[in-house]
Amino acid sequence: MLQILTKMTGETARAYITRVLLYNIVNLNLLPGEQIQETELCAQLQVSRTPVREAILELAQIKIIDIYPQRGTYVSLIDSAMVEEVRYMRYVLESDLAAVACDMISQQDIDFLYENIQLQKLYNERNADKMMQLDDQFHYRIYQICGKEFLHDMVTRVAAHFDRTRKLSYIVKQPVLIVEDHEQLVKALKNGNKDKAREISKIHMCRSIEDAPLLKAKYPDYYVS
């Protein structure tokens, strides 16, 4: 069932619809291969068809939505090759940012990250949606520490392909190793250990490779064959 998000102040209809669609696709409220009904979407979001079509076209450009003439509009199936491209991009970027953050992190940042981890420990057995939100906040803080918010926005634009597999992982099993990675990373950042921070970040971004066979076996209809 589509989850309706609150429209932000100053947000255009197109941007709002794009955000709602991405959120629901990533969180599997709109499943891979599911048809998107434009008329129904307009009614649910109380918007006209023009911004809906604009949002759909925008998401089609990053291949998270497929448009088939005379057939309809569908949420794209999970393409393992695209998932790997996004994972690799984050692997390269975030391992380097982890090292950079060692020189820039403040005590306030450390406190924030540790508090975030405590919440992860609380929710990792209970709520996959909340766990994913906390995970996103944790990594965003690293980008903020390094002053790379615009880079984070660019990564987020194509991250939906990878993020759907993250959500499936949280559903299938408890993300204990993810939380442990975060804890070890903060320790390395606090100690200013660049090599260790880079190493932990690389290990962390390879977790999805380990999970891929399990997810494909459990949800074969979600993946491109």
- In this structure, the answer to whether residues 131 and 118 fall within a common structural domain is yes
**What confidence score (pLDDT) does residue 157 get?**
87
Residue type, 26: V
- In this structure, the answer to whether residues 52 and 90 fall within a common structural domain is no
**What confidence score (pLDDT) does residue 206 get?**
94
Q: Tens-of-pLDDT digits for all 225 residues of the chain?
A: 899 999 999 999 999 999 999 999 999 999 999 999 999 999 999 999 999 999 999 999 999 999 999 899 999 999 999 999 999 999 999 999 999 999 999 999 999 999 999 999 999 877 888 999 999 999 999 999 999 999 999 999 889 999 999 999 988 887 889 999 999 999 999 999 999 999 999 999 999 898 999 999 999 999 998
Is 2 within the bounds of a domain?
no
Choosing from 75, 95, 111, the residue where a domain stops is 75
- In this structure, the answer to whether residues 50 and 88 fall within a common structural domain is no
- In this structure, the answer to whether residues 125 and 188 fall within a common structural domain is yes
- In this structure, the answer to whether residues 37 and 135 fall within a common structural domain is no
**What confidence score (pLDDT) does residue 12 get?**
95
Tokens at 75, concatenated: 């949420």
- In this structure, the answer to whether residues 69 and 91 fall within a common structural domain is no
CA distance 128 to 123: 7
**What confidence score (pLDDT) does residue 179 get?**
94
Tokens at 167, concatenated: 């959500």
Is 1 within the bounds of a domain?
no
- In this structure, the answer to whether residues 115 and 144 fall within a common structural domain is yes
**What confidence score (pLDDT) does residue 173 get?**
80
| Cα distances (angstroms) measured from residue 223 to each of 151, 165, 217 | 28, 10, 10
If one counts the domains in the chain, the total is 2
- In this structure, the answer to whether residues 89 and 34 fall within a common structural domain is no
4 within 8 A of 45, measured Cβ to Cβ: yes
174 within 8 A of 125, measured Cβ to Cβ: yes
CB atoms near residue 92 (< 10 Å): 12
**Placement of tokens 């320790």 in the chain:** 187
- In this structure, the answer to whether residues 191 and 106 fall within a common structural domain is yes
CATH (domain of 145) = 1.20.120.530
Is 152 within the bounds of a domain?
yes
**What confidence score (pLDDT) does residue 225 get?**
80
Angle at 73 between CA 71 and CA 77, to 5 degrees: 110
- In this structure, the answer to whether residues 125 and 218 fall within a common structural domain is yes
| Cα first-last separation, the chain | 26
**What confidence score (pLDDT) does residue 111 get?**
98
Task: Supply the range of the domain harboring residue 49.
Answer: 13-75
- In this structure, the answer to whether residues 100 and 154 fall within a common structural domain is yes
CA distance 157 to 178: 23
Beta pairing partners, 75: 65
**What confidence score (pLDDT) does residue 104 get?**
98
- In this structure, the answer to whether residues 101 and 41 fall within a common structural domain is no
